[in-house]
Amino acid sequence: AEAARRREEAARRRDEEEAETARRRDEEEAARIKEEEESAALEEERAKEEVVKQRGEQLAVPSCWFFKDNKDQTQGPYIPAQMQLWFGSNFFNATTMVLPAYEPFETNPIAPYDVHFETLGDLYPLLTSNPDLTFVTPPERSKGQAARVEEDVAATAKAEAKAQAEAKAAAAAEEARLEREAAEREAAERDRQAAERETSTIEAIARRRAELVAEESANRRQKQQREESETVKQLTARVAQLEQSAVTQLAEKDAQLAAVERRVAEQDAELAALNARLRGKDTELATAQTYEKGRAPATDADADVEARVAEIKVTLEARESQLADSEQRRLSEVAELSAQLAALKQHVVASMWDELRARQTERESQQAATETALKRELEMKRAETDSLKEQVRDLSRLFDQAQTRSARKGSPKGKKARSWSARKIGPLEAAYGSPAVSGKKAAATYLEAAAAALGT
């Protein structure tokens, strides 16, 4: 919301700056148009003076003459000296139709319509009294010529009024067309701005979505890492517990074996004592036999000792067998515990690998889904970018047409069109730069700037 507010504030400031710039340009254009109108008025006055001068409104010596021969054929142009020479030779009289021309003789002027021809007596009333001044002095204007000049001026004024009316009608039509084009360009500009705002919104949403996807992916990875770490800890604790249990059982078996070994050692000591007693009895018996004192009779004590020795031997044999069985069972249990521990470790490792593969597969599928979504968004952005490019092309084409039409000098509507171009195309030039050329190159410049602004 804060970013949107800042964008709206920046857009408002930009619009105000554009409006101020357009106002200044309009004022400058109005001043320039007024100056051009004043200059055009002065040019028109000078042109009228030139027309009046060319029509003979100001009395001056003609540069050449035309005349009608006896067959009513127009002859000329001839210089005034040649005409005066022929007049002195009585080739002309007071009724000869003549026409003065004020264009330079070197330009080889052509005689205008017959309505402008006058009699030599009307142009030079003192023809007989001053023959030497004929054709080489400014002729006088006759009443008919003055009337015809006034008619010509009135016809010219009427033609000019008609031309002005037609020009006004054409200017009104041109103004209506320019206003339509201006409305179309304004609509295109609004569409372009709306498309730019929509594109900015879409890009902001895409960036936010990418940020959310990245954040979610990071959270998912962290959660997976925590779960994996917790699983490893639990498995490690279970393995340690099993190892501790196996060590405890082994310690108990070792203690039992040590107790058995102690009992066996005690019985071995007792057997050694009995053997010593037996050896003593054997020694006494041997001594008695040696000295022939007679063999001592066996006593009950000796029988008890022998029985005890036999019993101890049997017990020792049984204990040895029991000890061997216990040792065998202990070894079997140790091997079984080792096999169970190895199987448990293998099962734990296999489970961990299966879980890691499943998570990797899930991550790959999620990544593929994300890439597919991003590709769709990229295609949508490309389509929107193509649409914006087409709008910019249309706008550039309209701009070039407006420039072409506004280049018509002397047309008030052309000046208005140039003012409109400066006011409406100014924001484009401010946004994308003012190209040094127009037409296709300017459109290409606008397109490149628009593409750079869109980040495409």
404-423 pLDDT, tens digit per residue, is 766 554 444 444 545 544 55
Taking all residues of the chain, what is their mean pLDDT, rounded to a whole number?
77
- What pLDDT, on the 0 to 100 scale, is given for residue 412? 45
Least confident stretch, 35-44, 145-154, 192-201, 277-286: 145-154
Of 120, 159, 151, 161, give the one whose Cα is nearest residue 55: 151
- Per-residue model confidence as pLDDT tens digits over 297-356: 556 666 777 787 788 778 878 877 887 887 788 788 878 877 887 887 788 778 778 887
Q: What letter represents residue 357's amino acid?
A: R
Assign 56 a pLDDT band (cuts: 50, 70, 90).
very low
Of 84, 39, 44, 43, give the one whose Cα is nearest residue 61: 84
Strand partners, 97: 119
- Per-residue model confidence as pLDDT tens digits over 72-110: 888 988 999 999 999 988 899 889 999 888 777 777 677
Both tokens of 96, joined, read 């000869």
Q: CA distances (Å), 55 to each of 99, 112, 114, 119, in order?
A: 12, 11, 14, 18
With H, G, I as helix, E, B as strand and everything else as coil, classify residue 101. Answer: strand
pTM of the entire predicted model: 0.27
pLDDT at 362 over 80: yes
Pairing of strands 118-119, 74-78: unpaired
Least confident stretch, 37-41, 394-398, 445-449: 445-449
- What pLDDT, on the 0 to 100 scale, is given for residue 37? 85
Looking at residues 354-359, what average pLDDT do you find?
82
Please name the residues in contact with 170: beta carbons below 8 A apart, sequence gap of 6 or more. none
Nearest-angstrom CA–CA distance, 408 and 417: 10
